[in-house]
């Protein structure tokens, strides 16, 4: 090793610094929205920058030797339908799981301990003590048993929460997604952590929501289109369910949309993973993936078949 063998197109200076330390790689800086550098003709790996998927056509056409697209995000839905034949796609799974799981815990604690009411009383100059609910003892159904789901379970269990995991297929400690109809009725909280695919788009429809018990909380830290927004708005408007959303459909949420005003909703603008150090964690995963690629191995986070 040591000789530069693989050219990687990198969208930022952080990536240039991180990948410059990897033997066998030649990082080349590019800027989204500007013409590709001359070295792109020989690039074998592309790390997309923000917004690149929306203008991928001419970019991909200028990469005749492209063999791998390595994402900085865990979600790959923007690239599935535009991936050129023969090109591998690897996600950044493992980089943002901790911060996303932390967001879920934060919103649940805020909702059950009614922190918004105490903040408002503070602003009004009122001393307004009252009892609240608690996260302790709640039954949480985690739909999505990947990295984020596993990290969330570890963070919830110290609160004496009873966690049930659901994945696409059954395995030890994990129910299959086909078991959902029989599990929803016993859940105080349902957390969505699934990728957006043809199987999960619209998964949470009116029937799914109707199966949740009165007073339950739906938490979506996955992708907006996993949930039927109209069906959720109906349940929230009726006051039967509550929800915490970091993602919406549509996104960004337009002015005047019902989600701005429905009761029982905690809403954040797709920031669950937007924390200090997130870029460094992303590139730590990317470096590990590309080291495997340089060594002739397949990246661990490859997207296979129906993502």
> CATH number of the domain that 155 lies in?
3.40.50.720
Same structural domain, 48 and 88: yes
Q: How confident is the model at residue 3 (pLDDT cuts 50, 70, 90)?
A: low
The residue among 154, 156, 153, 116 whose CA lies nearest residue 136 is 156
Is 176:166 a contact under the CB 8 Å cutoff? yes
Kindly report, residue by residue over 101-115, the tens digit of the pLDDT: 999 999 999 999 999
Kindly report, residue by residue over 257-296, the tens digit of the pLDDT: 999 999 999 999 999 998 999 999 999 999 999 999 999 9
Same structural domain, 105 and 244: yes
The residue among 70, 131, 108 whose CA lies nearest residue 221 is 108
Q: Is residue 238 a part of any domain in this protein?
A: yes
Is 167:177 a contact under the CB 8 Å cutoff? yes
- Element holding 182 (H helix, E strand): helix 180-183
Question: How many distinct structural domains can be found in the chain?
Answer: 2
Q: How high is the mean pLDDT of the chain? A: 95
pLDDT at residue 2 tops 60 = no
Q: Is residue 138 a part of any domain in this protein?
A: yes
* Domain containing residue 126: 97-267
Kindly report, residue by residue over 155-172, the tens digit of the pLDDT: 999 999 999 999 999 999
List CB contacts of 290: < 8 A, sequence separation 6 or more.
6, 8, 19, 22, 25, 45, 70, 299
Kindly report, residue by residue over 209-227, the tens digit of the pLDDT: 999 999 999 999 999 999 9
Kindly report, residue by residue over 16-48, the tens digit of the pLDDT: 999 998 999 999 999 999 999 999 999 999 999
Mean pLDDT of 181-189: 97
Sign for the CA dihedral angle at 51, 251, 245, 91 comes to negative
Q: How confident is the model at residue 4 (pLDDT cuts 50, 70, 90)?
A: low
Taking the C-alpha atoms of residue 226 and residue 161, their distance in angstroms, rounded to an integer, is 25
Percent of the chain with pLDDT over 70: 98
Taking the C-alpha atoms of residue 72 and residue 148, their distance in angstroms, rounded to an integer, is 16
Q: Is residue 302 a part of any domain in this protein?
A: no
Same structural domain, 80 and 109: no
Q: What is the pLDDT of residue 307?
A: 42
Same structural domain, 84 and 102: no
Same structural domain, 243 and 260: yes
Q: How confident is the model at residue 306 (pLDDT cuts 50, 70, 90)?
A: very low
Between β-strands 242-245 and 217-220, what pairing exists: parallel, antiparallel or unpaired?
parallel
pLDDT at residue 97 tops 80 = yes
Peptide bond into 205 cis (omega under 30): no
Q: Which residues are catalytic?
A: 223, 251, 270
Same structural domain, 91 and 102: no
Q: Is residue 36 a part of any domain in this protein?
A: yes
Torsion angle (degrees, nearest 10) of CA 8, 146, 200, 227: -100
List C-alpha distances in Å: 240 to 20, 33, 190, 231, 234: 54, 46, 14, 12, 9
Q: Is residue 124 a part of any domain in this protein?
A: yes
pLDDT at residue 87 tops 90 = yes
Kindly report, residue by residue over 140-151, the tens digit of the pLDDT: 999 999 999 999
Taking the C-alpha atoms of residue 158 and residue 31, their distance in angstroms, rounded to an integer, is 44
The residue among 168, 177, 191 whose CA lies nearest residue 304 is 168
pLDDT at residue 239 tops 80 = yes
- Element holding 244 (H helix, E strand): strand 242-245
Same structural domain, 101 and 84: no
Q: Which two tokens stand for residue 21?
A: 């330390």
**Residue 148: alpha-carbon gap to chain centroid:** 8
Same structural domain, 126 and 248: yes
């Amino acid at each position: 090793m040591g000789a530069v063998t693989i050219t990687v197109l990198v969208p930022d200076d952080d990536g240039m610094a991180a990948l410059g330390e990897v033997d066998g790689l030649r990082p080349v800086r590019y800027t989204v929205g500007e013409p590709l550098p001359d070295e792109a003709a020989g690039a074998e790996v592309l790390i997309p920058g923000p917004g690149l998927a929306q203008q991928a056509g001419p970019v991909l056409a200028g990469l005749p030797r492209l063999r791998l697209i390595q994402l900085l995000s865990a979600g790959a839905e923007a690239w599935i339908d535009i991936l050129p034949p023969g090109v591998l796609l690897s996600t950044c799974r493992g980089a943002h799981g901790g911060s996303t799981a932390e967001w879920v815990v934060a919103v649940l604690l805020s909702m059950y301990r009614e922190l918004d009411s105490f903040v408002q009383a503070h602003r009004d100059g009122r001393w307004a003590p009252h009892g609240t609910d608690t996260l302790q003892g709640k039954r949480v159904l985690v739909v999505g048993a990947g990295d984020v789901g596993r990290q969330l379970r570890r963070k919830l269990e110290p609160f004496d929460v009873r966690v049930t995991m659901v994945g696409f297929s059954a395995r030890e400690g994990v129910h299959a997604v086909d078991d959902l109809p029989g599990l929803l009725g016993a859940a105080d909280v349902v957390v969505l952590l699934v990728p957006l695919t043809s199987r999960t788009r619209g998964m949470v429809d009116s029937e799914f929501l109707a199966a949740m018990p009165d007073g339950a909380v739906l938490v979506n830290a996955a992708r907006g289109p996993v949930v039927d927004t109209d069906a959720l708005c109906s349940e929230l408007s009726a006051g039967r369910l509550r929800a915490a959303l970091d993602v919406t459909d549509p996104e960004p949420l337009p002015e005047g949309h019902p989600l701005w005003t429905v009761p029982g909703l905690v809403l954040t603008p797709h920031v669950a993973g937007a924390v200090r150090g997130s870029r460094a964690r992303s590139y730590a995963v990317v470096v590990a993936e590309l080291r495997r690629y340089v060594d002739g191995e397949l990246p661990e986070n490859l997207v296979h078949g129906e993502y």
